[in-house]
Amino acid sequence: MAGGYRIHNQKELHFVTFQIVEWIDLFTRQLYRDEIISNFRFYPDTQGLNIHAYVIMSNHLHAILSATQPKNDLSSIIGRFKSYTSKRLVELITEGPESRKGWMLNLFAHHAESQKRSKNFQVWTHDNHPIELDTPEKFRQRLDYIHNNPVKAGIIDKPEDYLYSSARNYADLPFLFKVDLVDELLANLRPGKYD
């Protein structure tokens, strides 16, 4: 990952941010948010990814993630997620009735060309800004940060009112997909590690 941010301990939980290039408000459309949710449902079972918390905002998403087994490499899983969702989002933009199609595809193509790391389009920035969550305080701080993003953005009044967030899971309300709750995870960690 560029910019000095790296996942050094692949076995630990990490707070990560996935940002759309140029802060394009891609996720103002439900179609694109639903594509991310579809992948969130798929990746735990097939790619070894645990999703403990998330929020999808207009131009980025935050998540608390971990690999399901020590042999899984969290950085690689994240890379596959970003690569696959980039392709799918570009397909949806190209095939759908997107009014911003030309503008977005031009920006995505420009970023791919300037970075020389992507094939035709670059949807996500390369940095994920991972932060290892190695204490209960860090867990709870980042969990609150994730869930309060829509409140701070003025979208809703209470975190659990935002559909595209795990705040609904933690509030025991109907949710879009099951996450691995951080509180349950903390209770199952070996004694002393997070005390």
Sign of the CA dihedral with 89 first, then 92, 95, and 99 last: negative
pLDDT exceeds cutoff 60 at 2: no
Whole-number pLDDT of residue 163: 97
Whole-number pLDDT of residue 194: 38
Reported as a single tens digit per residue, the pLDDT across 37-72 is: 999 998 877 788 999 999 999 999 999 999 887 667
pLDDT exceeds cutoff 50 at 157: yes
Residue 172, Cβ neighbours under 10 Å: how many? 9
> With contact defined as beta carbons under 8 Å apart, do 163 and 176 qualify?
yes
Region 191-195 average pLDDT: 39
Whole-number pLDDT of residue 34: 98
- Greater pLDDT, 184 or 16: 16
Tokens for 171?
A: 């509030």
Whole-number pLDDT of residue 185: 58
- Greater pLDDT, 168 or 181: 168
Query: If pLDDT is split at 50, 70 and 90, which confidence band does 190 have?
Result: very low
Name the residue among 107, 104, 84, 79 with its Cα closest to residue 94. Answer: 104
Sign of the CA dihedral with 158 first, then 160, 163, and 164 last: positive
